[in-house]
A and B are shown apart, each in its own frame.
Chain A
Amino acid sequence: MKTRTQKILAGLIVLAVAFLVWLPCLHLLFTRPAAHFRSLTGLSPVARQLAARHLQLWTDPSRLQAELDKMRASNAEWDFMGRSFLVWSLANLALRDPASKPLYLQTMDLIIGETLRLEKQEGMYHFLMPYARERHYLAQPAHSLFLDGEIALMLAARRMVEEKPEYKPLLTERVDAIVEHFRNSPHLLLESYPDEGWMFDHCVALDAIKLADCLDGSDHSALIHDWLAMARRKLTDPRTGLLISSFTADGITLDGPEGSSIWMVAHSLQLLDEDFARDQYERARKELGEITLGFGYAHEWPKSWKGQADVDSGPIIPGFEISAGSSGMAFIGAASFGDDRFLVPLAATLEFTGFPARSHGRLKYCASNQVGDAALLYAATLGPLWQKAKVQSKP
């Protein structure tokens, strides 16, 4: 006859065994084939459902405003980036799903029109964090490459899907201004915030310039070449070989390599220099990407760099050092380079911890917000726009 203590001890041992059996199996509840998140042609289920949710948001002004207000209370940049990622996604959606192209184009025009109106009416600070007002931009008149680059890429993406004559002068004006600022900058570095430039913004702006070249027959290949050569030389972290995230107008490092930046940078570089892009992705994958018990995630910083959690990194889960921002952006990297061995575990983590809510064919991740979901939609759809630009720019 067993004593009570023996029975409890046996129960605890069995519980421990059950825990050890279940933990490695947990990911199986959330793991789906890569095609569930991203398909090579057409739309994956996740892309279709996320797109349906965003299209619904942009046709329901009160719902949209509520969503934007929630984000703006934390970070005005998210309002702007949510628009950018959605427009870039819609361009890829239109190329993947021609039957719904009119709806995608209509929504792109709505977002672009509304964004340009707000920029004109409220000024560039409307989409920037408050510290942008605390100092003067070194280059005057003040311009933020963050806004100029992303708006230019929105306009270019729209025109790559289908020409819209009204946007041609807007894109030319924006690109000419960026190019002029590059020419006037002694170090080829432009500010997004006062005396603060970002790798992410430079790469996006160069993508916009590259697309403008495709569309309008201009040639800025020398500028792009020189900038990339400068970045390799001056803006690379010597310990990891990864591009740093932010710097002063003189090229002094502010933030080293960061996951919230490098995954998108690697994707952007694909349009500018494929080999450099793949090199950066592989380094980021090695330094920042992790898979534990079938769940994928990413760190914000490599082991050799210490940083503080901020609005870009999102919350950092201690122990595993999981960064919400970096893990979200890692989808863009993994999708860009067809790295399904990382994408599938990342998607398992998203299903596990993103708290997906599906209804009426629409999907949102409750733990995310509009900008997060728009970035995921971009990861689920990217490819055709870059592909079209590469085909068009071949001599």
Chain B
Amino acid sequence: MKNSLWKKLVGARRAEFLSARDLLQRAAAVSVLFLLAHLAGLREFTSALNGTTGSAAVDAKLGAFLAAVYILLYLAFVILVPVLVLAAAILAIGRRFIQKEKSSPANTL
């Protein structure tokens, strides 16, 4: 069981660079990281944008760092993830189109 999960993960890593699968894996990774940051409550620290700290429990520098981490992951989630998914879709459609072209009777003659 453990072995097969490991194989799947290793297999996932082996997707060809900038292939549709690779783009989807990257989108998934960013989404998971953003979800983790969100669930950890880092959104509160974005108050650093107006010069106040999100929590009295951490000092201003750490608060600003956590805010920066959250903001970068958020921007990646709302801008980069859709771009990666869209690009993956375009590549997949393109590949299918090319394969169809290759296997069409006109090309086999």
Contacts and interface: CB of A to CB of B under 8 A. Distances in A.
A193 B84 CA distance: 53
A81 B56 CA distance: 22
Given A17-B90, A21-B86, A29-B78, A367 B47 contact: yes
B19 to A, nearest CB: 7
A357 B84 CA distance: 27
A74 B87 contact: no
Centre residue among A7, A14, A66, A352 by max chain B CB count within 10 A: A14
A366 B79 contact: no
A353 to B, nearest CB: 8
A22 B49 contact: no
Given A12-B18, A74-B51, A366 B43 contact: yes
Given A18-B87, A366-B46, A369-B47, A11 B52 contact: no
B19 A11 contact: yes
Interface in A35-91: 66, 70-71, 73-75
Nearest to B98: A2
Contacts of A315: 49-50
Interface string B13-27: 000111100010000
A351 to B, nearest CB: 11
A177 interface: no
Interface residues of B, number: 28
B44 A366 contact: yes
A70 B53 contact: yes
B78 A367 contact: no
Contacts of B49: 315, 324, 367
Interface string A7-36: 110111011011101110010010000000
Interface in A344-372: 352, 355, 357, 366-369, 372
A17 B91 CA distance: 11
B99 to A, nearest CB: 13
A251 interface: no
B52 A74 contact: yes
Contacts, number: 81
Given A11-B18, A366-B44, A314 B87 contact: no
Contact of A17 (B18, B23, B82, B87): B87
Please classify how large the interface on chain A is, using the bins under 10, 10 to 19, 20 to 34, 35 or more. 20 to 34
Interface in B36-73: 43-47, 49-54, 56
B90 A7 contact: no
A11 B17 contact: yes
Contacts of A352: 78
Nearest to A30: B78
Interface in A313-358: 314-315, 324, 352, 355, 357
A367 B86 contact: no
Contact of A368 (B50, B84, B94): B50
A315 B50 CA distance: 7
B66 to A, nearest CB: 12
B17 A8 contact: yes
Contacts of B78: 26, 29, 352
B43 A372 contact: no
B86 A22 contact: yes
Contacts of A12: 18
The interface centre, meaning the residue of A23, A73, A355 with most chain B CB atoms within 10 A of its CB, is A355
B32 interface: no
Given A11-B87, A26-B79, A315-B50, 10 more contacts: A8-B17, A10-B18, A14-B91, A15-B18, A66-B56, A315-B49, A355-B74, A357-B44, A367-B47, A369-B52
Q: Which 9 A-B pairs have the closest CB atoms?
A: A11-B18, A18-B86, A18-B87, A70-B52, A367-B49, A74-B51, A355-B46, A366-B46, A367-B46
30 contacts: A7-B18, A8-B18, A10-B18, A10-B91, A12-B18, A14-B91, A14-B94, A15-B23, A15-B87, A18-B83, A18-B84, A18-B90, A19-B83, A22-B79, A22-B86, A23-B79, A26-B82, A66-B56, A71-B52, A74-B52, A75-B51, A314-B50, A315-B50, A324-B49, A355-B46, A355-B74, A366-B46, A367-B46, A367-B47, A368-B47
